[in-house]
């Protein structure tokens, strides 16, 4: 077993969550060897073609990662691992924090092909690519942003990938929509600090100003757990620096990093 590979205990937790057949392509090659190659590449940030031979053909590892990123397999695996932990009572639902971080994009992440113009009367192949590929241009170059919701104890729950210039507040709705059912079932209330100027304006308006936002200083002190979760995810070099051109492949890379963190805990 190489450095960073799945241990026997981690593999025992992950194996029941994996797809059992390869569909039309026949039997899967060794799941464990190929899957170990994906987090190895994420952790080191090396090009796919430079993967060590102990993981098999680099093209096989890359194709498996690309395909599972496209069809939602990585996301289903993450949900299954989270369900295992939830069934054992290992998720701290007393705190769900949201945060975002900016990831620099390598020059190799630029230059994706744009969608072909639609010709009236001609059928076009459906595509899963977005027009912006979740890339924005800042003063420092191309960047993207990861919006995260995490449970207590550095447990990543859901992600949204956007261009860097997209604001956090609008994406907060999409992030929380994915776990709203869990929050309501556990009666988790929001804790949002209210700026002094907004509080003063609300008080001047009287009853028209609405009720104060829920804020608990004790809970808010634990907000650093979301930041530490984000730091742990960006410990994977191919997440801290984006090399993928396609947004769906980069999203799959973030999911693999999250799965790896869940298996370690």
Q: What is the mean pLDDT of each run of 10 residues along the chain (265 residues)?
A: 86 89 57 91 95 93 94 93 89 81 86 58 52 79 88 85 80 74 63 65 64 63 82 93 92 95 87
- CA–CA separation, 74 vs 256, rounded Å? 7
Q: What is the pTM for the complete model shown?
A: 0.79
Is residue 103 classed as helix, strand or coil in its secondary structure?
strand
Instruction: For the chain, state the CA radius of gyration.
Output: 21
Q: State the CB neighbour count (10 A cutoff) for residue 216.
A: 12
> What stretch of H or E contains 248?
helix 247-264
Q: In this predicted structure, what is the pLDDT of residue 21?
A: 63
% of the chain with per-residue pLDDT over 70? 73
Residue among 70, 87, 97, 81 at smallest CA distance from 183: 97
Res 180: pLDDT: 73
């Amino acid at each position: 077993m190489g450095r960073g590979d799945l241990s026997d205990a981690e593999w025992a937790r992950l194996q029941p969550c994996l797809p059992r057949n390869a569909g039309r392509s026949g039997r899967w090659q060794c799941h464990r060897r190929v899957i170990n190659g994906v987090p190895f590449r994420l952790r080191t940030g090396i090009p796919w073609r430079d993967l060590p031979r102990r993981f098999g053909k680099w093209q096989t590892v890359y194709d498996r990662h690309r395909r599972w990123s496209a069809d939602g397999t990585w996301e289903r695996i993450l949900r299954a691992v989270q369900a295992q932990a939830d069934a054992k009572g290992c998720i701290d639902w007393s705190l769900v924090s949201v945060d975002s971080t900016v990831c620099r994009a390598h020059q190799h992440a630029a230059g994706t092909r744009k969608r072909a113009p639609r010709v009236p009367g001609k059928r076009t192949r459906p595509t899963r690519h977005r027009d912006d590929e979740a890339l924005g241009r800042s003063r420092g170059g191309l960047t993207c942003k990861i919006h995260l919701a995490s449970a207590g104890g550095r447990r990543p729950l859901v992600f949204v990938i956007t261009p860097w210039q997209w604001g956090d507040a609008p994406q907060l709705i999409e992030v929380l929509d994915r776990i709203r059912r869990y929050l309501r079932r556990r009666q988790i209330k929001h804790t949002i600090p209210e700026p002094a100027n907004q509080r003063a304006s609300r008080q001047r308006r009287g009853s028209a100003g609405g009720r104060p936002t829920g804020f608990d200083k004790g809970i808010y002190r634990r907000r650093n757990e979301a930041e530490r979760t984000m730091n742990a995810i960006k410990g994977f070099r191919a997440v801290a620096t984006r090399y993928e051109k396609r947004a769906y492949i980069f999203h799959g890379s973030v999911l693999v990093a999250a799965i790896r963190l869940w298996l370690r805990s």
